[in-house]
A and B are shown apart, each in its own frame.
Chain A
Amino acid sequence: MYTLSEQQIDFILNDIKSRGVVMEDLQLNLLDHICCIVENELNLDDDFDQFYQDIIPRFFKKELKEIEEETILLLTFKNYYTMKKIMLISGIFSVTTFLIGSFLKFMHLPGASILLFLGIMTLSLLFLPLMFALKIKDVNTTREKVVAGIGTLSGMLVSISILFKVMHWPFANMLGGCALFVFVFIFIPLYFFSGVRNPETKLNTIVSSILFVGASGLLFTLINTRPAQQQTEVKMYAYLESEELLKRLQNMTYKVAITNTKQQLIVSKINDAAEQMKSLIMVRTTGKSKVSHDFENEDIFLEERNLGPAFEKGQEGALLYAQFKNSIEEFNLLNSKSNELKIPTDHFKEGEIVLYNNFVVLDYITKTQMYVATIENSVTAIK
């Protein structure tokens, strides 16, 4: 049996490394294997170098690296199936949640937001990246890989920006703009020029590119901000005018002497809760508790959005609303003799307050205060 010297072992190990085998595990396995072959098959007086050069081709067809490549392929092959499975499941999941979410949204039923959120998040953060990871295994050229990568990125951006838009979250328009920019000015040209050169894919590429441009044009029209901003400004002015009207009504009322102290107490409770709720809503949307008529110059923008967590069960807003509601009921009880002297409470029949958007609630609160002021007025006028 031939005995290998330390130098010979080092030589073999270095040769394995220099032939491109990087995985340490594999290096050690191959080293031991080659040593075993040498020890078992080499005669004591034979030439080691010559023998080594003779046996090393047994390990590969072209180069030793093949073993490592094959190993990596086998190791990732299993992942490939898991990834494919996760991709399919996440795809089905996001489509289902998206469909149910849209239906609920359409029917104004609770749970729509969370389902849409889950659906779009799964689509953009799980399904699309996985699709990309699986896709680049099939394409060969760097160009195709880049096209797939940018396509995935813009797809993720577009869907996330739509989510932001639907949820009335900040920066939705900015995100949408970025997404469309990447899609229209980077992805479509790249896709078009890489596909149009190949006669086989030429027609398909042209048709798809036209569809992409059309779809992004529609999307652009949809997220275009100008009309929405104008409408919001109109709504803001309408709200500020209601506030002004309320102020004038209250001024009229409270100039008259206070006659019914019990009623007066309830009225101040209603107005307290109302003012606190309004400033809570304002702070959430604009950062300020009051908005003046000069809001355009002050660059304050009261975007139409939901009331947020402050109005969820048990939170500050919800408690104020409960106090507001109770005081109104108390007020109505006190004036139960005449319907003219009651505050309309039909709003109370409809679900929880957190489901409504800020403009609706602001409008409702202000109107209620106006009713209170008007009733007060008429009562004192009678007297």
Chain B
Amino acid sequence: MHNNLMYNCIMYSSELIKGTLKTIVLKLLSQTNQMYGYEITQKVKELTGDRIQITEGALYPTLHALEKEGVVTTEIVNIGKRVRKYYTLTPKGKLKATEKVNEFAEFIDTMKFMLDIKPQIS
């Protein structure tokens, strides 16, 4: 029990997050109409109770790559002196989001089996 508590409190390592960043971003975008970079980091923080904190250094490269792949489109909105880039999923992106989430779910099952993680009795 003590171990479990500790596990809940720490932030996940960046290696773990790196492989799932695309999935996280795609899933978030599929749930909302459009989001901008800062909003995405805050939303992830809020949803995971601070356990997953996306670094800006990883988020923006990923967003640019997704844009290039044609998975997201962008819309630029002027906010006073600066501009804000909103990201929206394309139809192709919606498919990709589902695909990525399913892939990850299967991955979890496989990892559970491989690492021999017993279901926890609450």
Contacts and interface: CB of A to CB of B under 8 A. Distances in A.
Contacts of B55: 58-59
B65 A28 contact: no
B9 interface: no
B82 A30 contact: no
B56 A75 contact: no
Contact of B81 (A9, A33, A74): A9
Contacts of B62: 74
A75 B58 CA distance: 13
A32 B64 contact: no
A78 B65 contact: yes
Given A74-B62, A78-B68, A32 B57 contact: no
Contacts of B81: 6, 9-10
Interface of A: 6, 9-10, 13, 25-26, 28-33, 35-37, 58-61, 66-67, 70-71, 73-75, 77-78
A326 B36 CA distance: 82
A29 B38 CA distance: 9
Given A29-B63, A61-B57, A75 B84 contact: no
Q: List the 10 closest A-B pairs by CB distance, nearest first.
A: A36-B38, A74-B65, A71-B61, A70-B61, A59-B56, A32-B84, A9-B81, A74-B61, A71-B64, A33-B38
Nearest to A3: B80
Contact of B64 (A33, A35, A59, A75): A75
Contacts of A29: 37, 60, 63, 85
A20 B91 CA distance: 35
20 contacts: A6-B81, A9-B81, A9-B82, A25-B64, A26-B60, A29-B60, A31-B82, A32-B36, A32-B37, A32-B83, A32-B84, A35-B79, A59-B56, A70-B58, A70-B61, A71-B60, A73-B61, A74-B61, A75-B64, A78-B65
Given A6-B81, A35-B82, 19 more contacts: A9-B80, A9-B81, A28-B85, A29-B60, A30-B56, A32-B36, A32-B84, A58-B55, A58-B56, A60-B57, A66-B57, A67-B56, A70-B57, A71-B61, A74-B62, A74-B64, A75-B64, A78-B68, A78-B69
Interface string B51-81: 0000111101111110011000000100111
Nearest to B79: A32
B75 to A, nearest CB: 13
Chain B CB within 10 Å, residue with most, of A6, A29, A32, A71: A29
B60 A67 contact: yes
Contacts of B83: 28, 32
A265 to B, nearest CB: 74
A178 B115 CA distance: 62
A36 B80 CA distance: 13
Nearest to B65: A74
A30 B63 CA distance: 12
A32 B82 contact: yes
A30 B57 contact: no
Contacts of B63: 29
B85 A26 contact: no
A70 B57 CA distance: 8
Given A6-B81, A32-B79, A32-B85, A67 B38 contact: no
A40 to B, nearest CB: 8
Contact of B38 (A6, A32, A78): A32
Interface string B30-54: 0000001110000000000000000
B65 A71 contact: yes
B7 to A, nearest CB: 25
Chain B CB within 10 Å, residue with most, of A9, A32, A58: A32
Contacts of B38: 32-33, 36-37
A75 B69 CA distance: 9
Given A74-B62, A75-B65, A78-B68, A33 B37 contact: yes
